[in-house]
């Protein structure tokens, strides 16, 4: 439910929402009469904003980067109304995204984080937006595994692969208690921070998102195919072992084989 998408021509987009770090001793924050998580509310705000913008006659004349920042401003207002400090990105929910504006002459793309826009030109050349989160995820996914392996050994004297489901749940709960304080430092370092080598963009109300936007224009007569998708299409084991263009070729080959049904898990 934290993922989102819209097709409201001339706009189309996907979002991958993520709640603020929460765990046993810090409950998850809910929005909109306690109905939505932080990731959900950002995806719903962004969907609604672009659907509304598509109604205007001048939609094609609007700069897509400005529109993304317009949705980001609404998120800012939502968070501030709930007392969140935008100076602490490690405590904020957010969403990565890939959004397109499709005109008759050109197609404009804006992306941040680990959502993707993949395009194929009429000449067969494949391109893809960068996975800005790769370095951050590699560092912290490796740490998650390391902590879980240590807990499995200390608690059950077992390798992580040998634990049963109930033990696995207990290991993960204990891991989060230890991991979250470490992860928050990494999020504070990387979220919407262009000076960090592992920095990435996140739609979370912060004005610094503007500095993290990937922007590209493709001429419509040179565009054969455009796919927008979240990282859920690409398993982490595949993601970490391939560079961006290798991922693009893998995803597109699967799409060519059987379309969207072939891509879905």
pLDDT tens digits for range 85-144: 999 999 999 999 999 999 999 999 999 999 999 999 999 999 999 999 999 999 999 999
Whether residues 127 and 165 share a domain: the answer is no
Whether residues 148 and 55 share a domain: the answer is no
Whether residues 49 and 100 share a domain: the answer is yes
Number of domain units in the chain: 2
Whether residues 102 and 37 share a domain: the answer is yes
Mind listing the pLDDT tens digit for each residue in 39-83? 999 999 999 999 999 997 788 999 999 999 999 999 999 999 999
Whether residues 45 and 140 share a domain: the answer is no
pLDDT of residue 72: 98
**Which pTM does this prediction carry?**
0.94
Whether residues 154 and 47 share a domain: the answer is no
Whether residues 68 and 120 share a domain: the answer is yes
Whether residues 61 and 97 share a domain: the answer is yes
Q: What is the CATH number of the domain that holds 29?
A: 3.60.40.10
Whether residues 50 and 176 share a domain: the answer is no
47 has which bridge partners? none
Is residue 7 pLDDT above 80, yes or no?
A: yes
Whether residues 61 and 123 share a domain: the answer is yes
Whether residues 196 and 247 share a domain: the answer is yes
Whether residues 28 and 79 share a domain: the answer is yes
Looking at 168, 190, 212, the residue that finishes a domain is 190
Task: Residue 153: give the domain boundaries.
Answer: 136-190
Q: Check: CB of residue 143 under 8 Å from CB of residue 182.
A: yes
The per-residue b/e assignment along 136-165, b for 16 or more CB within 10 angstroms, e otherwise, is: bbeebeebbeebbbebbeeeeeeebeebee
Q: C-alpha 10: how far from its chain's center?
A: 22
Count of CB atoms situated within 10 Å of the CB of 184: 16
């Amino acid at each position: 439910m934290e993922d989102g998408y819209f097709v409201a021509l001339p706009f189309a987009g996907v979002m991958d929402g993520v709640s603020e770090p929460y765990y046993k001793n810090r409950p998850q924050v809910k929005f909109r009469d306690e109905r939505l998580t932080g990731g959900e509310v950002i995806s719903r705000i962004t969907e609604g904003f672009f659907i509304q913008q598509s109604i205007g006659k001048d939609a094609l004349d609007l700069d897509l980067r400005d529109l993304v920042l317009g949705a980001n401003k609404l998120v800012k207002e939502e968070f501030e109304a709930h007392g969140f400090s935008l100076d602490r990105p490690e405590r904020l929910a957010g969403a990565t995204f890939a959004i397109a504006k499709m005109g008759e002459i050109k197609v404009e793309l804006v992306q941040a984080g680990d959502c993707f826009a993949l395009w194929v030109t009429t000449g067969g050349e494949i391109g893809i937006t960068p996975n800005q989160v790769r370095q951050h995820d590699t560092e912290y996914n490796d740490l998650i595994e390391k902590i879980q392996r240590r807990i499995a050994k200390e608690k059950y004297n077992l390798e992580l692969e040998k634990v049963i489901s109930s033990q696995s749940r207990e290991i993960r709960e204990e891991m989060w208690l230890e991991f979250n304080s470490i992860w928050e430092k990494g999020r504070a370092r990387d979220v919407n921070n262009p000076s960090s080598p592992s920095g990435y963009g996140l739609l979370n109300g912060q004005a610094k998102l503007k500095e993290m936007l990937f922007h590209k224009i493709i001429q419509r007569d040179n565009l054969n195919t455009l796919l927008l998708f979240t990282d859920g299409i690409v398993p982490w084991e595949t993601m970490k072992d391939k560079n961006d263009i290798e991922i693009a070729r893998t995803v597109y080959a699967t799409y060519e084989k059987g379309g969207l049904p072939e891509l879905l898990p």
